[in-house]
Amino acid sequence: MCSNYRPVTRADRLLSHFGIEREKDMAAPEQTWPLGMAPFIRLHEDGSGNKVIDEGQFGLLPHFAKELAFGRKTYNARSETVDKLASFKYSWAHSQRCIIPAEGVYEPCYESGKALRWYIQKAFGIPMGIAGIYRQWKSPEGALQWTFAMLTVNADRHPVFQRMHAQNDEKRMVLILDPVDYDRWLRCTPDEAKTFFRQWQGPLEAFAAPLPPRGRKSLPDSPKDK
């Protein structure tokens, strides 16, 4: 599961790696946690098939959610049950799938005997396109808010993600899309989308990346383009 990641916000990287044009960098923070705002890519609702990028809350809010804090329970959606659980099944049935641009994700590694925060990214610093679902939520006061969740798959025997989390916890990982599949992920039917439910087999880099002193949620500069 992933509760902390580094979003792609630079306009040049969004264009070169996701084909999304932006006049300027996005204002999302360097790290995103549940309830935080970050960019996600979806199809335009006008039916044109064009992609758009919006900022939404990390933590999907179904129609019955009464407050933003509900998103603390819905930032990850298991691929095995995304079409069944009340919080997610509307988005899945209505093909409200998205791509979440991420420089990398953070996970806890217990190999030292205690939790140590690790950073996982694709080789050479190439951004990840993480498969997600989204929904627009209307607050009790009538305000509209985009929200999204990352899809996860089982990570048993994955060379990197099986090393994360406590020994007795189920091994899970975010669903990383191959860039050649980005458009098809957004445009295919819900049944066809299930064919994407698999572990990422491409090269990954992982290294210890503890929080800075006093728990400040900050990160070094973005990796250089390759």
Within-domain flag for 221? no
Q: What digits encode the pLDDT tens for the residues 170-225?
A: 999 999 999 999 999 999 999 999 999 999 999 999 999 987 654 444 433 333 33
Taking alpha carbons only, the member of 24, 34, 210 closest to residue 107 is 210
Number of domains in the chain: 1
Residue 224 domain flag: no
The CATH number for 199's domain is 3.90.1680.10
Q: Which of 137, 134, 168 is nearest to 151 (CA)?
A: 134
Give the domain range for residue 124: 5-214
- What pLDDT score was predicted for residue 222? 35
Q: Cα separation of 139 and 212, whole Å?
A: 35
Domain-embedded: residue 219: no
Residues of the chain with pLDDT under 50: 214-226
State the pLDDT at residue 47. 87
Task: Note the maximum CA span of the chain.
Answer: 52
Q: Which residue has the tokens 């025997």?
A: 157
User: Is position 222 within any domain?
Assistant: no
Confidence at residue 167, expressed as pLDDT on a 0 to 100 scale: 84
pTM of the full structure: 0.92
